[in-house]
């Protein structure tokens, strides 16, 4: 089972909604969303997954973004109040896996869920801070969570015995997009090959986005497209396609065309180096039409490609 962990930015939510709408995730992929904002896109994604009956994990106490303050500051009769109402109603649906991060506010949330008679065995828990392992042990001593995400470290292996999901950041993030030219093809992950041998029931990563969260974006000097593919030994590699005219922030459309032209040339080799996916196909259409979809869509399509590729791989095993 694969648990791609996304932060709930607009392009990430749109990627999940498009994959769900077109039934491209497969039964072995369960996305985890750490919401960074109380938004209509978030509640629409929840509604789409409920509609098709595909499980999705939504973290109720995110550690980044403004979701928690958005929730607390909602004014009556505002549009945000409507989003909050929809979120609350949809969160009761069994398709939504109630999830939390073991951190300072976890105890209050767990007590609230206990008062609501929510079974601990239905929860997904993010367990990455050793300072909260004692709280985890005392809370889940009798009834263990459905899934427990944790790093592959001895202190966590000693304390978490059941339903373990390996969480690791596989993406080697660079300071600038242009820096991906220095290593245009690199190892990404082999967790999908060995997680069961290592005692885990699933694996999780931050896809081609990485764990680092920045509140605001910025206009890049270079455009980079990240495409995950399977090597001949079934390990996963990631190839970076970077624009050439990277002297300033002007003309992102040209920069995108330079990068996507490299992607098209790579894909059109015989045999093709990667299986076709919806995200990849859309990239190639933009190349053929010489159209520019915007930087958010570039990130969305790369994420869609990775998740659909993993869904196909796990469904065929």
Mean pLDDT of the chain: 96
220: exposed, middle or buried (Cβ count in 10 Å: 0-12, 13-18, 19+): middle
Other CB atoms within 10 A of residue 264 CB: 16
pLDDT in tens, 174-201: 989 999 999 999 999 999 999 999 999 9
* Higher-confidence position of 43 and 247: 43
pLDDT in tens, 15-28: 999 999 999 999 99
Mean pLDDT of 159-180: 94
pLDDT of residue 48: 98
* Higher-confidence position of 124 and 215: 124
How far apart are the C-alpha atoms of 31 and 262, rounded to whole Å? 30
Query: Is pLDDT above 90 for 62?
Result: yes
Query: Is pLDDT above 90 for 77?
Result: no
> pLDDT category, 219, cuts 50, 70, 90?
confident
* Higher-confidence position of 225 and 216: 225
- Range scoring the smallest mean pLDDT among 48-52, 128-132, 215-219, 226-230: 215-219
DSSP letters for 77-102: TSHHHHHHHHHHHHHTSTTEEEEEES
How far apart are the C-alpha atoms of 52 and 23, rounded to whole Å? 8
Query: Is pLDDT above 90 for 99?
Result: yes
Percent of the chain beyond pLDDT 90?
Answer: 94
Mean pLDDT of 64-84: 93
Give me the residue label for tokens 């896109």. Answer: 41
Mean pLDDT of 76-80: 89
pLDDT of residue 76: 86
Query: Is pLDDT above 90 for 36?
Result: yes
């Amino acid at each position: 089972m694969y648990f791609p962990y996304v932060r709930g930015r607009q392009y990430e939510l749109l990627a999940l909604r498009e994959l769900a709408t077109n039934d491209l995730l497969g039964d072995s992929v369960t996305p985890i969303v750490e919401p960074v904002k109380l938004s209509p896109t978030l509640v629409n994604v929840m509604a789409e997954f409920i509609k098709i009956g595909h499980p999705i994990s939504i973290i109720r106490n995110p550690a980044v973004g403004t979701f928690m303050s958005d929730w607390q500051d909602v004014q009556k009769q505002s549009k945000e109040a409507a989003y909050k109402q929809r979120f609350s109603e949809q969160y009761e649906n069994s398709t939504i896996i109630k999830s939390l991060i073991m951190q300072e506010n976890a105890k209050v949330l767990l007590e609230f869920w206990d008062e609501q008679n929510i079974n601990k065995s239905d929860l997904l828990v993010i367990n990455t801070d050793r300072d909260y392992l004692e709280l985890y042990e005392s809370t889940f001593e009798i009834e263990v969570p459905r899934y427990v995400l944790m790093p592959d470290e001895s202190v966590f292996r000693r304390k978490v015995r059941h339903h373990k999901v390996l969480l690791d950041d596989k993406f080697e993030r660079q300071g600038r997009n242009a820096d991906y030219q220095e290593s245009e093809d690199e190892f990404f992950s082999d967790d999908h090959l060995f997680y069961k041998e290592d005692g885990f029931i699933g694996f999780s990563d931050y896809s081609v986005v990485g764990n680092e969260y920045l509140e605001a974006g910025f206009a890049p000097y270079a455009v980079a497209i990240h495409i995950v593919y399977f090597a001949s030994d079934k390990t996963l590699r990631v190839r970076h396609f970077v624009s050439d005219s990277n002297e300033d922030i002007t003309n992102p459309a040209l920069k995108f065309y330079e990068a996507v032209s490299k992607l098209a040339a790579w894909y059109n080799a015989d045999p093709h180096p990667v299986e076709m996916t919806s995200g990849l196909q859309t990239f190639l259409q933009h190349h053929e039409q010489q159209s520019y979809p915007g930087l958010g869509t570039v990130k969305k399509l790369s994420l869609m490609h990775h998740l659909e590729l993993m869904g196909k791989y796990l469904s065929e095993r």
